[in-house]
């Protein structure tokens, strides 16, 4: 627009000059003013659209996978429900012993009777040694039962062995015979157990020229630990460890033998599975001794039981919080609970216990990584 205005001014000045000159060849007519030359409209130059500079996309920072969290605590508090039927706890019924100072290849127990059906019988045999291959019990017979070797320890001279049989019926005036691999002095003790399982549980052995000792870990609540030993070196009365008692001992001191044969046990059954039990004696501390021990199990069908129940942990989309199973924890005092049973992914469980015993319990849930939840509320109950 500025260029147009300038051109139009120049044309007016020329016209004025031409009109002022006299004698010109205009034939009396004024000289026409030339039409202004149209000024072309400038074509606007397009403004280029700026190309956006690419902004680099940040690399996503990897998010660490969270450590599996513990499964939520199962609720509500487990509620114990004692079984309504009367239960038979593990108990010793018959006990007889016989000591044989005169060397012989057999030894026979005194006659005995049992007071109930379904009793476990154990024969505890300790022997001397003379020469050659060490002594063993080669077999046990009696009461019309099938006897099997449970445990044998004969690293030191002589042997300490446990044999067992199960009688479905009460026995009347029966005897048990042990046959030995050589003619030696020996001792036999028979114990029968009411409310026992048909088989024994954990076993333990100890031998050496030292204080006799053997250890096992119980595998069932309310089980009893009992054992037999032989001392080849001397006839010396045992001093048992605390919480234990001598069932029988024989001090053999003669021209034929100088030995000690004995049977000992814990004072009472162990209320909890997983209990480490050591049967031991002091003195002696320098005699050559063998000691065999076994766990007598309470029957699962006759021992007292309690049923615990709890609500399932709710299922979510997070596998870390979903339960794979539950564990039952038991103790004899509040806060002393230890794992007693992995019950699987169920919400009720019947546990066999020792009669007349107060227990404390809680449950935990665990996930696929075996991470335990916090414990449930603690409950306490006393078995009938």
> DSSP characters for 113-161?
--SSSSEEEEEEEEE---SSSPP-EEEEEETT---EEEEEE-SSSSEEE
Q: Is residue 31 within 8 Å of residue 16, measured between CB atoms? A: no
Question: Can you tell me whether residue 247 is helix, strand or coil?
Answer: strand
Q: Is residue 262 within 8 Å of residue 229, measured between CB atoms? A: yes
Q: How high is the pLDDT of residue 262?
A: 98
What whole-number distance in Å separates Cα of residue 91 and Cα of residue 115?
Answer: 12
What whole-number distance in Å separates Cα of residue 26 and Cα of residue 189?
Answer: 168
Q: How high is the pLDDT of residue 53?
A: 55
Please state the length of the chain: 384
Chain CA centroid to CA 50, Å: 71
Q: How high is the pLDDT of residue 153?
A: 98
Q: What is the DSSP-derived secondary structure letter of residue 23?
A: T
Q: How high is the pLDDT of residue 68?
A: 46
Question: Can you tell me whether residue 4 is helix, strand or coil?
Answer: helix
211-251 residue pLDDT tens: 999 999 999 999 999 999 999 999 999 999 999 999 999 99
Q: Which residue's entry shows tokens 């609720």?
A: 75
**Which residues of the chain register pLDDT less than 70?**
1-88
Burial class (CB in 10 A: 0-12, 13-18, 19+), 300: exposed
Q: Is residue 97 within 8 Å of residue 117, measured between CB atoms? A: no
Q: How high is the pLDDT of residue 69?
A: 47
Q: How high is the pLDDT of residue 49?
A: 53
Q: pTM of the predicted model, to two decimals? A: 0.75
> DSSP characters for 170-223?
---SB-EEEEEEEEEEEEEEEEEEETEEEEEEEEEEEEEESS-EEEEE--STTB
What whole-number distance in Å separates Cα of residue 179 and Cα of residue 229?
Answer: 18
């Amino acid at each position: 627009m500025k260029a147009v205005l300038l051109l139009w001014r120049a044309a007016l000045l020329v016209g004025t000059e031409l009109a002022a000159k006299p004698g010109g060849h205009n034939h009396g007519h004024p000289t026409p003013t030339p039409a202004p030359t149209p000024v072309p409209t400038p074509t606007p130059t397009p403004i280029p659209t700026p190309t956006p500079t690419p902004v680099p996309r940040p690399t996503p920072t990897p998010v660490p996978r969270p450590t599996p969290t513990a499964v939520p605590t199962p609720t509500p508090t487990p509620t114990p429900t004692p079984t309504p039927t009367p239960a038979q706890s593990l108990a010793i019924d018959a006990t007889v012993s016989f000591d044989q100072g005169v060397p012989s290849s057999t030894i026979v127990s005194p006659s005995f009777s049992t007071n109930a059906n379904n009793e476990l019988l154990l024969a505890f045999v300790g022997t001397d040694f003379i020469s050659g291959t060490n002594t063993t019990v080669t077999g046990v017979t009696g009461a019309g039962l099938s006897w099997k070797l449970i445990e044998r320890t004969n690293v030191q001279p002589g042997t300490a062995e446990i044999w067992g049989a199960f009688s479905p019926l009460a026995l009347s005036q029966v005897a048990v015979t042990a046959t030995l691999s050589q003619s030696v002095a020996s001792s036999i003790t028979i114990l029968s157990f009411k409310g026992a399982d048909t088989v024994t549980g954990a076993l333990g052995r100890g031998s050496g020229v030292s204080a006799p000792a053997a250890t096992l870990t119980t595998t069932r609540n309310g089980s009893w630990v009992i054992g037999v030993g032989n001392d080849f070196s001397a006839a010396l009365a045992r001093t048992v460890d605390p919480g234990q008692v001598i069932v029988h001992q024989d001090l053999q001191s003669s021209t034929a033998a100088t030995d000690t044969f004995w049977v000992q046990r814990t004072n009472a059954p162990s209320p909890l599975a997983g209990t480490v039990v050591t049967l031991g004696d002091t003195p002696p501390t320098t005699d050559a001794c063998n000691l065999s021990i076994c766990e007598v199990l309470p029957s699962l069908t006759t021992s007292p039981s309690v049923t615990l129940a709890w609500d399932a942990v709710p299922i979510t989309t997070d596998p870390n919080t979903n339960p794979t199973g539950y564990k039952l924890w038991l103790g004899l005092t509040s806060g002393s609970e230890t794992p007693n049973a992995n019950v699987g992914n169920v919400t009720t469980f019947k546990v066999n216990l020792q009669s007349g015993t107060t227990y404390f319990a809680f449950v935990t849930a665990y996930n696929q990584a075996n991470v335990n939840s916090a414990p449930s509320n603690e409950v306490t109950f006393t078995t009938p």
